[in-house]
Amino acid sequence: MKKVITYGTYDLLHYGHIALLKRAKALGDYLIVGVTSDQFDRGRGKLNVQQSVAERIAAVQALGIADKIIVEEYEGQKIDDIQKYDVDVFTVGSDWVGKFDYLREYCEVTYLSRTEGISSTQLRTEKNDEISLGIYGATERTVRFLKESRFVSGLFVKGAYSPNTRAAEIFCEQSDIEKYASYEAMLADTDAVYIFDTIDRHFDLVMQALEAGCHVICETPLFLSEEQTEAAYALADSKGLVLFEAVKTLWYPAFQHLLLLINSGVAGTVKSVDVACSQIPDDPDFLSNPYEGSLYDWGTIALLPIIKILGTKYQDVQMYDYSRDNFSYLSQGMLRYDSAIGTWKAGRGIKSEGELIVTGTKGYIYVPAPWWKTEYFELRHEDLRATEKYFFKSEGAGMRYEILEFVRMINNGNLTHYHYTREEMRTIAGLIEKFDKREVISF
């Protein structure tokens, strides 16, 4: 029996895929189809896949062409599969010519001609209209946002506005996007807006954008109080708009996997979560704005692992604060739960080891600094030799994952992929509110 193997994503399965699968089958007697996992595609920079691996497998299965379907999860798996299943022929479309010649050492390699005039990319664009987006702000961060947005299909940056006219001019000219004369003008001309400013300015900017009918992706932390959070989400809901907090850490493949692992109980019962984040910005100007201070800046990121892992129902909270000249350099605190403790340390203009440790009854998870943009973490046990290492590659500056999620939410009517619940948002806003109201012990 001659065994053939082929691989693909098979997103929005079309006749190009089908033609290839049929010809692949005709090369032998038994066809194995490897369907890429969501993680694997993200890792190889294929970010705009619309369907989950389960949906894609179901579509391939329904064709009845494959004799066996497997999931492709890692680089180098093809060699393992060829040996494991005793494969005679490896085949893919002609868009890959030469790329898999290294497999000739293990089996026959055949490139089949690709069907012209059809592709998943084309179907994706036809399915959803492109979202036009305006950027509020003109800083190094908005430049990064713009660059990262180009890796996400279905969205394009139309222009920008910043109260800092000179900075806006430079940004728009260098990036070749439109420069708007006012925020209103930009909102009137776009479907969505990305807001980059300090937390104290978010509420007004967000409300104005929602009133104007724009979807909003706003830098983290979103708001200064629970009330603002409620009001903004109520308005977004009533208008059927997406209001998205740009917490890029949350969408990093490694962080997503960490949450998944903890939920599966590999570390036992979690008894404590310790988070530290700190930064000394390059430009010393930040000290002049109190809203650039510790928890005003780190807010959601510092509190997110605690709230995501231990939940929203804490018993009490203690906050300590080191401020000078109305600027908070360090916020440290402890959330006490029924049977667990969460601590955080958030620093601006001060530096510490930015690690995350999740302590459990069977072992602990260690995420090295800077944990908030990690690709790597370890699950450690009493016996250090039993350490399990996890590596999840993040492409670019990581922002593309959150932008992708934002686009998905707009296209899917705000229903799917809501990994960050309203209750979690409210809880975090409530803690930032306590900090803002100076319910802290100063030192």
DSSP assignments along 287-299, one per residue: GG-GGGSHHHHHH
Biggest CA pair distance of the chain: 79
Contact pattern for ligand C2G over residues 52 through 91, marking x by CB under 6 A? --------------------x-------------------
Pick from 4, 12, 17, 253 the residue near ligand C2G by CB under 6 A.
17
**Residue 48 in contact with ligand C2G, rule: CB under 6 A:** no
Q: In this structure, are residues 9 and 20 in contact, taking their beta carbons and an 8 Å threshold?
A: no
Q: Given the complex with ligand C2G, which of 70 and 266 has the nearer CB atom?
A: 70
Residue 384 structure tokens: 């250090």
52 CB-side CA count, 13 A: 4
* Helical spans, DSSP H, in 135-293: 140-149, 165-175, 183-189, 199-211, 226-239, 248-251, 253-263
Contact pattern for ligand C2G over residues 203 through 222, marking x by CB under 6 A? --------------------
Pick from 36, 190, 272, 279 the residue near ligand C2G by CB under 6 A.
36
**Residue 43 in contact with ligand C2G, rule: CB under 6 A:** no
Binding segment for ligand C2G (CB under 6 A), chosen from 12-20, 131-139, 145-153, 326-334, is 12-20
Q: In this structure, are residues 27 and 52 in contact, taking their beta carbons and an 8 Å threshold?
A: no
**Residue 93 in contact with ligand C2G, rule: CB under 6 A:** yes
User: At its nearest, how many Å lie between ligand C2G and the CB of residue 351?
Assistant: 42
C-alpha pair distances (Å), 168 with each of 93, 164, 216, 431? 45, 6, 20, 34
Q: Given the complex with ligand C2G, which of 95 and 353 has the nearer CB atom?
A: 95
**Residue 20 in contact with ligand C2G, rule: CB under 6 A:** yes
User: At its nearest, how many Å lie between ligand C2G and the CB of residue 362?
Assistant: 35
Binding segment for ligand C2G (CB under 6 A), chosen from 13-21, 186-194, 387-395, 411-419, is 13-21
Q: Given the complex with ligand C2G, which of 78 and 308 has the nearer CB atom?
A: 78
Q: Provide CB contacts within 8 A for 402, sequence distance 6+.
A: 217, 244, 246, 247, 248, 250, 251
How large is the C-alpha radius of gyration of the chain? 24
Q: Given the complex with ligand C2G, which of 120 and 294 has the nearer CB atom?
A: 120
Binding segment for ligand C2G (CB under 6 A), chosen from 110-118, 143-151, 278-286, 435-443, is 110-118
How far is C-alpha 301 from the geometric centre of its chain's CA atoms? 13
**Residue 429 in contact with ligand C2G, rule: CB under 6 A:** no
Pick from 10, 296, 364, 371 the residue near ligand C2G by CB under 6 A.
10
**Residue 153 in contact with ligand C2G, rule: CB under 6 A:** no
Binding segment for ligand C2G (CB under 6 A), chosen from 114-122, 133-141, 220-228, 323-331, is 114-122
**CA atoms of 422 and 230, how far apart (whole Å):** 9
**CA atoms of 71 and 14, how far apart (whole Å):** 19
Name the region of 32 (left: φ>0; alpha: ψ -120 to 50; beta: rest). beta
H or E segment at 10? none
User: At its nearest, how many Å lie between ligand C2G and the CB of residue 156?
Assistant: 23
Binding segment for ligand C2G (CB under 6 A), chosen from 8-16, 101-109, 124-132, 392-400, is 8-16
Binding segment for ligand C2G (CB under 6 A), chosen from 118-126, 149-157, 344-352, 393-401, is 118-126
Binding segment for ligand C2G (CB under 6 A), chosen from 15-23, 145-153, 193-201, 223-231, is 15-23
User: At its nearest, how many Å lie between ligand C2G and the CB of residue 44?
Assistant: 8
**Residue 115 in contact with ligand C2G, rule: CB under 6 A:** yes
User: At its nearest, how many Å lie between ligand C2G and the CB of residue 107?
Assistant: 15
Residue 284 structure tokens: 């010393």
What is the per-residue burial (b if ≥16 Cβ within 10 Å, else e) of 106-116? ebebebbebbe
**CA atoms of 248 and 100, how far apart (whole Å):** 34
Q: Given the complex with ligand C2G, which of 99 and 437 has the nearer CB atom?
A: 99
DSSP state of 51: S
Helix (H, G, I), strand (E, B) or coil at 123: helix
Residue 218 structure tokens: 């706003």
Pick from 51, 110, 119, 225 the residue near ligand C2G by CB under 6 A.
119
Q: In this structure, are residues 287 and 349 in contact, taking their beta carbons and an 8 Å threshold?
A: yes
Q: In this structure, are residues 181 and 388 in contact, taking their beta carbons and an 8 Å threshold?
A: no
Residue with smallest beta-carbon separation from ligand C2G: 93
Residues that bind ligand C2G (CB under 6 A): 7-11, 16-17, 20, 36, 72, 92-93, 95, 114-115, 118-120
